Chain A
Amino acid sequence: MSKRMMFVNRRAPYGTVYGLEALDALLAASAFDQQLCVAFLDDGVYQLLRNQNPAVLDMKDYSRTFAALDDFGVDKVYVERESILQRGLCDADLIEIRRENGSDAVSIMASEDMSRLMESQDIILQF
């Protein structure tokens, strides 16, 4: 009876609070035994950049928590390939998120595959 819920991050971190509070919301949702996944597209891919240093902005580096998502039962992280390329980034710029068994929790996928994945969800929450 569990529902498929996707948390979609479309905004860069720090400029607005949406990314941080999306993560708070995702962790809260992880207690409910639903089929959760999280997606990053558009400027949302900036949330996954390695070596963030928001301390200079007097803000907290919440990207560290992404690496621990598997501990919260969130083991599916989807990133849109076009969003990465359009911003002059590459896969190696993104932080690693691994499952307990060592496998990669991050799938980088084409826009049309992301669309199909969204269609298969029961609930999409966009931040």
Chain B
Amino acid sequence: MKFNILINEGPYTHQASDTAFQFASAVFESGHEVVRVFFYHDGVHNATRLGAPPVDDRNVIARWVKLAEDYNIDMAVCVAASLRRGVLSDESASQSGRAIANLDQHFKVAGFGHFIEGAIIADRTVVFGD
């Protein structure tokens, strides 16, 4: 079965990203497929490469990156939501005159339509949020 995943909350404050990660891992381990993981609202903060959590805590962002590398997942942050919150790719940083880009390279920037496309091709859309 093909799953399309939406994550609406940032890391650590909410469990949404943890639960989504565990769900996505279980999807792959069960031989199913995740067609897309899309980050919206504060969920875009899951894509910063600058997170530095204490070593005795889980690293929410590094886990997503590892999963994306293991299974070649399409992970994207919403362009409008990420610009508003200062989660910037190299391209969007230079376009908006910012000296620093913080989007991890495993995430791409896309419109919300990217998620809708995922919803159209997937068998199930699962939303993780408040």
Contacts and interface: CB of A to CB of B under 8 A. Distances in A.
Nearest to B114: A28
A3 B112 CA distance: 16
Interface stretch (B51-59, B69-77, B86-94, B119-127): B119-127
Interface residues of A, number: 16
Nearest to B122: A123
B119 A28 contact: no
Size category of the B interface is: 10 to 19
B40 A3 contact: no
A25 B120 contact: no
B127 A25 contact: no
Interface of A: 2-3, 5, 17-18, 21, 24-25, 28-29, 31-32, 34, 123, 125-126
Interface of B: 6, 40-41, 80-81, 111-113, 116-117, 119-120, 125, 127, 129
